Amino acid sequence: MENQEPEYAQILELTRQLVRKRQQASSFQAGQDPVPYAGRVYDEREVEAGVRSMLDFWLTLGPEGDALERSLATALGVRSSHLVNSGSSANLVAVSALTSHSLGARRLCPGDEVITVAAGFPTTVSPIIQNRAVPVFIDNDPSTGNARVEQLEDAFVPGKTKAVFMAHTLGNPFDLAAVTDFCQRHDLWLIEDNCDALGSLYDGRPTGSFGDLSTQSFYPPHHITMGEGGAVNIVRNARLKVLVESFRDWGRDCWCASGCDDTCGKRFGWQLGELPEGYDHKYIYTHLGYNLKPTDPQAAIGRVQLEKLATFVSARSSNWNTLRRNLADLEEHVDFMLPTHATGWSEAGFSWQPGSPEVDPSWFGFMMVVKENAPFSRTGLANALDQHKIGNRMLFGGNLVRQPALVRLRREYEKNPAAGAQPPFRVVGDLTGADRLMNQAIFVGVYPGLNDEQLTFMSDCIRQACHGQSVAKTVV
């Protein structure tokens, strides 16, 4: 029921007025105002929702969270969604859920292997190692940023490989047809890291709806935001719902929502482990879990953001296409990202492999790979963009095998391998594609907050950097 107190209505009206006042358009000063690669896009509705939730003062995850979880599951076409406090936590919970003893022979045990891709964001890989499993790295295709799926069979070891876990790079769906077929043939779990791809479609279906589990991030650069936040999506298997909730909520066995008691009807009727019969079910822990829930005011903001997802996705696509058209004359020096299954680009659009599934990315960024024979380097281009205050990023951690954390793990193992110990990770092939992305890839923003003037300025600066004398070729 709507609160009828006049002060309540006054607070909300003043909130709306203040946000509108602060967001009054100001002219863009090229070269003086920054052009971020990503950022929050919101209006008074998000702020009002957050203030309204704070006035109700249900701080822990509650009714707003329940509503967002239902709406997100509906948007993705999955069985259920479960909010967490970040995309990294979502990945941790998803992998941890597969370690549950209740999964029997399919359980992910210490020493089991999980196939992933070498170049990407580290928290896709970290939960594998944190759960004492072994990541197996296959290479990236530099044109799509995604896995070279032809290496999947080379990575597979019967009895050791238990799962595949990889991300849709920069919103570009990986080859889900090949990956799902591989997983089904070998009875493997599939986790889709969908953190950069909310709104992407593969063969007409949302990414995040193909695997057994998928994950989302709602950090400000992503497609929608709660400030911090994320979600784990249960695609089909209802048994995984209980496990995800348990690992998210301290590892408890009880499934009562916060503030609820005795949902099962026998709160004091359980006997588990070596606890006395009748021990309070709310304090029985089946797993060694975490507390990774977000807050209800965050969820209130997320609900408004989710309502805008289709508009955001459309804007990202439009901005990506604008940059691609504007920079078409740079193909001599730069390779531009292609959607999975695409063979090329022209003013008319993409050309596709015959008979391939339709791919419609919800782009997270606009990636360029500087060619080896270009008269400038990726670092030179990045410096030029920085000088013009244009936000840019590498492809996250690049080839993760080269990162200090994994180099240290490898060296510690090589220096003193314990008897029978597993190497910390395994590599398939020489990872030349991942290395190329690490050394030569850069991306700029396409987020919905960019306007035509900013996109034109970005394009002009990139073109000037590629054709002009101000960007020297430097050693990377």
pLDDT at position 471 is: 42
Residue with tokens 């948007």: 75
- Confidence label for 419 from pLDDT (cuts 50, 70 and 90): low
Per-residue pLDDT of 14-55, as tens digits, reads: 999 999 999 997 889 998 999 999 999 999 999 999 999 999
- Confidence label for 473 from pLDDT (cuts 50, 70 and 90): very low
Q: Is the pLDDT of residue 423 over 70?
A: yes
CB within 8 A of 398, min separation 6: which ones?
119, 434, 437, 438, 439
Per-residue pLDDT of 47-88, as tens digits, reads: 999 999 999 998 999 999 999 999 999 999 999 999 999 999
CB within 8 A of 375, min separation 6: which ones?
333, 473
pLDDT at position 258 is: 73
pLDDT at position 358 is: 95
Q: Is the pLDDT of residue 262 over 90?
A: no
Residues 139-155: b if buried by 16+ CB within 10 A, e if exposed: bbbbbbbbbbbebbeeb
Structural domains of the chain, ranges and CATH numbers in brackets = 54-305 (3.40.640.10), 313-467 (3.90.1150.10)
Percentage of residues in the chain with pLDDT exceeding 90?
Answer: 90
Q: Is the pLDDT of residue 239 over 50?
A: yes
pLDDT at position 250 is: 95
For 398, phi then psi, to 5°, come to 60, -145
- Determine the distance from the C-alpha atom of residue 103 to the mean position of all C-alpha atoms in its chain, rounded to a whole number: 26
Per-residue pLDDT of 350-409, as tens digits, reads: 999 999 999 999 999 999 999 999 999 999 999 999 999 999 999 999 999 999 999 999
Please tell me the distance from the alpha carbon of residue 163 to that of residue 98, in angstroms, as a whole number.
Answer: 9
Q: 3-state DSSP call for residue 334?
A: strand
Q: In which order are the strands placed within the sheet that holds 441-445?
A: 334-336, 365-370, 441-445, 392-393
Catalytic (active-site) positions:
222
